[in-house]
Amino acid sequence: MAVVSKKIPAPDLVRVRTALLSVSDKSGIVEFALALHQRGVRLLSTGGTHKTLAAAGLPVIDVSEITGFPEIMDGRVKTLHPRVHGGLLSIRDDADHVEAMKLHGIEAIDLSVINLYPFEQVRAAGGDYPTTVENIDIGGPAMIRASAKNHAYVAVVTDAADYPEVVAALADNDGQTTYALRQRLAAKAYARTAAYDAAISNWFAEALEIDIPSYRVVGGTLKEKMRYGENPHQSAGFYVTGDNRPGVATATLLQGKQLSYNNINDTDAAFELVAEFPPENGPACAIIKHANPCGVATGSSLAAAYRRALACDSVSAFGGIIALNQLLDAETAQEIVKLFTEVIIAPQVSDEARAIIAAKPNLRLLTTGALPDPRSAGIMAKTVSGGLLVQSRDNVMVEDLDLKVVTKRAPTATELEDMKFAFKIAKHVKSNAVIYAKDGQTAGIGAGQMSRVDSARIAALKAEDAAKALGLAAPLTKGAAVASEAFYPFADGLLAAIAAGATAVIQPGGSMRDDEVIAAADEHGVAMVFTGVRHFRH
């Protein structure tokens, strides 16, 4: 049943006489409390916050003195009391509420300053089950929500970054808060508790291996407001979830301009791709443009891997994103700065390489400390009108698949390695995707086409252009392996790849016309393997 409002208008200005401070993160709390005290505000507090403020010499009253009840159960129960929540929820201009406050000895609380147990940090650090559960805050969210609901009279502060604004507002309004400020703080408070509960519910789903929970919330904390979104007329913000997966969200920006919306999207795509190549197996480089790779390669050195990746499509690489799987060294940095590049992301960077990159002050340089684990679980989400699509991360790796040879000719050892290399990359290319690869280097990439035949043809044309630019007698598609991220529905896509010079094919299989496709491969002496797994990417 809905509660009917008495429609009492909210006052514009409310004097702050009493403040309740209960924070896990003590950053700036002493200075903030001192500013309140200097304005004559009575300070109430709990547990560790009370100790911190008292140690700083501030006159602070323990909440237990107000409730008449001590903290119990290791601090689990301390603020869940009518004299706290009544003080936060009471409508000051409602005669019935005022009478109830007098009857039960409840005093109004005009400002609540609350941040929560560090659940997200404990989760990100890999805390065990009991420790993580113990860091689920109960009293904090209850007080935040109570204060935010009653924002007509109560200002609620959940972020230390807002302390200066509140102090300034009190100074500008003779110790009073404005309704507009209380509204903004309330909106932020509910967003904070929503993100907090999202983190908790998602952790439970992971811990209990519930793939598709009845309710799914994706929450995050604003890391930075973007200048604009995909286009200048779109607003955008970058939110982080607290997941400690190495990548653009957790990276350190060593130099360069603020990352744009498109930079972040492309850099994430680049780093997730290059992570498919473990550094212990040798250097690897991926160059990304508009979330698709335009060149990927391994090499005898990181500089060699970069040069080989660039050779695939040096035109598209202009203004691209470069991801490396090993420490960025001076030789590689010297090569990279020859071409206009938007972002470089690597696990680490040498001092010499950093000095070289510094000559390009607008070039963003990011370090992550490590590579993400391509096999680890996780969720991916995207919005649709009126809904949210959520799925598990595509963490299948070709090395873990049982490859089935379906043609008369089996692939050679070299062809098999090129097949696996190409299929790794196909996983990160927008569908329909066709990738030619030879000797640990992409020869041509066809991405995002409505027809798989067109993807094969475009990739072949890219290879021909690259051969001309490099002065090669023939494109690298001659004798290459070709990967398709989904099955060939007809033989025409395969025939286009064979026409480009491919001698080995890797694809998921599973088409109604598999026999037709296999027969076409056998007719041309091409080796083909089925993976049984597709990698659609939309």
- Provide the annotated active-site residues: 149, 290
23: closest CA among 87, 107, 110, 111? 111
Least Cα distance to 120 among 66, 201, 53, 185 occurs for: 201
C-alpha distances out from residue 99 to 84, 370, 394, Å: 16, 61, 60
CA distances from 66 to 43, 69, 81, 82, 234 (A): 11, 8, 10, 10, 50
320 within 8 A of 297, measured Cβ to Cβ: no
Reported as type and span, the H/E element at residue 79 is: none
Query: Cα–Cα distance between 509 and 356 in angstroms, integer?
Result: 47
Report how far Cα 333 is from the mean position of its chain's Cα atoms: 27
Helix (H) or strand (E) holding 442: strand 442-446
Angstrom distance (rounded) from CA 324 to CA 387 = 36
Helix (H) or strand (E) holding 267: helix 261-274
Under 8 Å CB-to-CB from 365, ≥6 apart: which residues?
Answer: 253, 254, 255, 256, 343, 344, 349, 354, 357
DSSP state, 135?
A: T
Residues 246, 370 contacting (CB under 8 angstroms): yes
Q: Do the strands 155-157 and 111-114 form a parallel or antiparallel pair, or are they unpaired?
A: parallel
CA distances in angstroms from 16 to 110, 160, 231, 381, listed in the order given: 5, 18, 44, 42
C-alpha span between 498 and 520 (Å, rounded): 10
